[in-house]
Chains A and B, each alone.
Chain A
Amino acid sequence: MIRIRNLAVRIGDRVIASVPELDVAAGECVAIVGESGSGKTTTLLATLGLVEGAAVSGEICVGDVDVLTAAPADLLRIRGSRAALVMQSPQAALNPTMRLGTLMRRALARHGVKGGEARSRADEAVAAVLLDPAILRRYPHQVSGGQAQRFAIALALALGAEVILADEPTSALDVTVQAEVVAVLRRLRDERGLAVLFVSHDLALVSTIADRVVVMKEGAVVECGRADAVFTRPSDAYTRELIAAVPRLPGHSGERPGEEET
């Protein structure tokens, strides 16, 4: 669903993100991990052609659309329905003066879906993210952060999204709520075959959801591969450092993959 080749994002002559190769297939979750300034969010935004003030080169395809050469109308079509962007604070993206149901109905109407069809799509999408349909009668300020985040995903589903791009979708949430959002993302990947590209600084979280992992540092990819391989046998020193820095709970994972004796 997503295919990236030789992506380079430059400001002046400085490369702020460079990704030689990244693919996300349907039914697959790929995570980009790294610290502040690693270029992970830039890469995510570039995937939808949303990087501003920088020169983007290379090849980015979402479905059959080449993002860098597409006509504005095609780009809008991808952003509006095929691919959905889920950000850290979804509440900021929801119009505070509208009930969530109204918001969803209007979004569907813009895509030509109205009446009974819109209602059934809304109900179905809300159920898919494990929310109570009663939530559609609430205003954004009346729902919790985790509910808002799941609603944002539901909105994307109702519009027929096949790709979800998520930027730290759970880092503002409590751990118990984070677990719910992650469970929803896993379910959508497994049951609906959604392609998920997920950006996070939380390696432990990533290790529980990602099929493949891309580790970035200072704009460059330092390691990529199957998640279990990267986490148990990291080949790059920086990946090992990142893994070692994750705080651990007692009575679990006595083996610290990749950690060197100190």
Chain B
Amino acid sequence: MSERPAVLGAETVTLAYGHTAVVHDVSLSVGEGGIGLIGESGSGKTTLARALLGLLRPRSGTITYGSRDLTSLDRKERARFRSDVQPVFQDGSEALDPRMTVEASIGEALTTHHRMAKADRRARVAELLADVGLDSALTARRPHQMSGGQRQRVAIARALAVEPRLLVLDEPTSALDVTVQARILDLLEGLAAEHGLGYLLITHNLGVVDRLCRTSHVLFAGRVVESGPTTDLLTRPAHPYTLALRDAVPRLGGEPPRPGGRTEATPAESGCPFRLRCPFAVGVCGEEAPGIRDVQGRMVACHRAEDVLAEGEVPRAPRK
């Protein structure tokens, strides 16, 4: 979808803590616009974000920055990477020094990355705060003097101060009120449209992904189980896990959300990792792990993808 080469990518990346691999063989790339990474807790999405930010070395595979391997960058290139790719985490207070005022926090980013003169700083800080919908009266506050939503917006303003090409957003709005969330999503949409900002949006909120990301990847137990245009994934899922996620989302005035079926079942060690939770599972699912393949315009790792698509409707998950 983007003409320019991707800013950041993962090529068959496997990530491990000690002997435990938590992300298996994942490939994706982020250029302009939004890419969604969808998964529940424990799916490995935050671990993958850490690797993409250069905070965790892959056990195998490569993280690429432009056309380079992230591990091969020299000091100067690394500094460039650090300003090109900015993280925003779930809890904004993690990114802010508790002793620094808002102006000092954002100003530090401006000085470090742009060598901006002090006089220009103040005006730029006010501008950035306005972008995220905060009053410039907040500039003298320290993190503990603000609400969680305000802190998160300051963290986003600080990330944007550097004028990055790409944001890695890990559940950026899940701690925010819906009206504040809506404003942040508008801001990101605007930045992508006007400045070609790219972002990887990591979240469990399908509604947010749908608004911001043309393409999405669904992660289950550290593996990409389905990738493709976000709207296709959500309107006609081809993987039973995508289907379960979608049907569990409460809808305004809609039917009660459907339980995903035995969510406490741990991923299977052999065969398809999702099979113990899967209403579509058959014999072959226990014998052979499904490879990722092209099914009607999206990549999916499921032996029964055609049946999932055809059925359109998921049969209700069996309950004990």
* Chain A positions near chain B (C-beta within 8 angstroms): 35-37, 130, 132, 144-147, 174-180, 182-183, 186, 201-205, 207-209, 228, 231-232, 241-253, 257
Q: Is the CB of A250 within 8 A of B235?
A: yes
Which of B70-78, B153-161, B206-214, B293-301 contacts its partner?
A: B206-214
* Contacting residues, chain A, for B207 (C-beta < 8 A): 246-249
Q: Is the CB of A243 within 8 A of B40?
A: no
Q: Whole-angstrom distance from the CB of A202 to the nearest CB of chain B? A: 7
Q: Is the CB of B257 within 8 A of A207?
A: no
The contact sample of 12 A-B pairs, CB cut-off 8 A, is A132-B320, A144-B263, A146-B263, A174-B41, A179-B247, A203-B178, A207-B254, A246-B178, A247-B208, A248-B207, A249-B251, A253-B252
In the complex, what residue of chain B is closest to A202 when comparing beta carbons? Answer: B250
Q: Whole-angstrom distance from the CB of A239 to the nearest CB of chain B? A: 12
Q: Is the CB of B259 within 8 A of A183?
A: yes
* Contacting residues, chain A, for B181 (C-beta < 8 A): 245, 247
Tell me the complex Cα distance, A210–B5, Å.
49
Give me the 7 closest cross-chain CB pairs, A-B, nearest first. Answer: A247-B207, A176-B260, A35-B177, A174-B40, A179-B257, A245-B182, A245-B178
Given known A246-B178, A249-B207, contact A182–B263 (CB-CB < 8 A): no
Given known A132-B320, A144-B264, A176-B259, contact A35–B253 (CB-CB < 8 A): no
* Contacting residues, chain A, for B210 (C-beta < 8 A): 247-250
When the two chains form the complex, which single residue of B40, B208, B254, B320 contacts A176, counting CB atoms closer than 8 Å?
B40
Q: With an 8 A cutoff between CB atoms, is B245 at the interface?
A: yes
Q: Which of the listed residues A175, A241, A252 has the most CB atoms from chain B within 10 Å of its own CB? A: A175
Q: With an 8 A cutoff between CB atoms, is B249 at the interface?
A: yes
Q: Whole-angstrom distance from the CB of B275 to the nearest CB of chain A? A: 16
Q: B residues 186-224 with Cβ under 8 Å of A?
A: 204-208, 210-211
Q: B residues 162-186 with Cβ under 8 Å of A?
A: 177-182, 185
Q: Is the CB of A208 within 8 A of B251?
A: yes
* Contacting residues, chain B, for A130 (C-beta < 8 A): 319-320
Q: Whole-angstrom distance from the CB of B175 to the nearest CB of chain A? A: 10
* Contacting residues, chain B, for A231 (C-beta < 8 A): 252-253
When the two chains form the complex, which single residue of B147, B178, B251 contacts A252, counting CB atoms closer than 8 Å?
B251
* Contacting residues, chain A, for B319 (C-beta < 8 A): 130
Q: Whole-angstrom distance from the CB of A61 to the nearest CB of chain B? A: 30
Q: B residues 224-246 with Cβ under 8 Å of A?
A: 231, 234-235, 244-246
In the complex, what residue of chain B is closest to A252 when comparing beta carbons? Answer: B251
Q: Is the CB of B263 within 8 A of A252?
A: no
Q: Whole-angstrom distance from the CB of A259 to the nearest CB of chain B? A: 10
Q: With an 8 A cutoff between CB atoms, is B258 at the interface?
A: yes
Q: With an 8 A cutoff between CB atoms, is B255 at the interface?
A: yes
* Contacting residues, chain A, for B41 (C-beta < 8 A): 145, 174
* Contacting residues, chain B, for A208 (C-beta < 8 A): 250-251, 254-257
In the complex, what residue of chain A is closest to B230 when comparing beta carbons? Answer: A250
How does the 8 Å CB contact mask read for B274-303 relative to A, with 1 for contact and 0 for none? 000000000000000000000000000000
Q: With an 8 A cutoff between CB atoms, is B56 at the interface?
A: no
Given known A132-B320, A249-B234, A250-B231, contact A178–B179 (CB-CB < 8 A): no
In the complex, what residue of chain B is closest to A206 when comparing beta carbons? Answer: B250
Q: Whole-angstrom distance from the CB of B262 to the nearest CB of chain A? A: 9
Q: Is the CB of B40 within 8 A of A228?
A: no
* Contacting residues, chain A, for B253 (C-beta < 8 A): 207, 228, 231-232, 253, 257
Q: With an 8 A cutoff between CB atoms, is B140 at the interface?
A: no
Tell me the complex Cα distance, A228–B252, Å.
10
* Contacting residues, chain B, for A145 (C-beta < 8 A): 41
* Contacting residues, chain B, for A253 (C-beta < 8 A): 251-254
